[in-house]
């Protein structure tokens, strides 16, 4: 990947990477740092990444791994620092939800954030980013059967949550 191709890739995927990180981390500052780190990582590996669809998949994989690292570190910090834990819990009405234009949008965000990290990642990568199952399986280190079964459960859980709140998805 040349420098020009790198710049194009950053412009094309920066919001995707940031959005994914924000949905996974539920924290805009953390997501911003993760997205930045992810794009810098692409620069460092630009000789090994082909521009195009492969680049999107590479970036989402890198973003996922960076987010999971942050979530793990955050879990450790929470165990150590209960005050920080309280701060993170207070930040629950996330920016996504506030940005959602409608009440239904807010409820969808809440339902999505109610999923576990892995289930949420699968829904985001498949239903929003439209990645192939093989790509998602590679990113998450899962086999295809488990991946599909998890996605089916997550879809139905989202539907159930929305129906419970009398929102037609």
Partner 1 sequence: MNACDIGRERVHAHLDETPGAALSESLSLHFATCPGCRELYEDLVALRAALRARPRPELPADALEAVWERTVRRPAAGWLDGWRRAATAAVLVTAVSASTLWLLRGSPAPAGPTPAQIALAEAQADLVLSYAARAIQATRTATTHRVVGSKISPAVRGDVPSDSRRR
Residues that bind partner 1 (CB under 8 A): 3, 6-7, 10, 14-19, 22, 28, 32, 35-36, 39-40, 43, 95-96, 99-101, 104-105, 108-109, 112, 123, 127-128, 130, 133, 148, 151-152, 155-156, 158-159, 162-163, 168-169
Kindly tell me which of 122 and 139 has the beta carbon lying closer to partner 1. Answer: 122
Whichever of 7 and 81 has its CB closer to partner 1, that residue is 7
The nearest distance, CB 127 to partner 1, in angstroms, is 5
CB atoms within 10 A of CB 153: 13
Closest separation in Å from C-beta 106 to partner 1: 11
Buried b (16+ CB within 10 A) or exposed e, 44-57: eebeebebeeebbb
**Backbone φ, ψ for residue 140 (5° rounding):** -95, -5
Name the minimum Å distance from CB 108 to partner 1: 6
Helix axes 53-80, 28-44, angle to 10 degrees: 130
- Rounded CA-CA distance 115/154 in Å is 7
In whole angstroms, the minimum distance from the beta carbon of 165 to partner 1 comes to 13
Q: Which tokens is 113 given? A: 């954030």
Q: Which is nearer to partner 1, 78 or 129 (CB)?
A: 129
Residues 96 and 23: their CA atoms lie apart, in Å, by: 8
| Residue number, 78 or 95, with CB nearest to partner 1 | 95
């Amino acid at each position: 990947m040349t420098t020009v191709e790198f710049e194009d890739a950053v412009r094309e995927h920066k919001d995707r990477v940031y959005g994914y990180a924000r949905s996974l981390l539920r924290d805009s500052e953390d997501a911003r740092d993760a997205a930045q780190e992810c794009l810098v990582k692409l620069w460092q590996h630009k000789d090994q990444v082909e521009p195009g669809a492969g680049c999107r998949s590479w970036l989402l994989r890198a973003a996922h791994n960076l987010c999971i690292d942050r979530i793990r570190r955050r879990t450790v910090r929470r165990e150590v620092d209960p005050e920080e834990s309280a701060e993170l819990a207070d930040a629950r009405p996330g920016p996504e939800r506030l940005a959602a234009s409608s009440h239904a949008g807010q409820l969808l965000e809440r339902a999505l954030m109610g999923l576990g990290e892995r289930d949420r990642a699968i829904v985001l990568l498949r239903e929003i980013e439209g990645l192939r199952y093989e790509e998602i399986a590679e990113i998450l280190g899962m086999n295809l059967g488990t991946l599909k079964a998890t996605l089916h459960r997550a879809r139905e859980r989202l539907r159930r949550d929305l129906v419970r709140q009398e929102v037609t998805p």
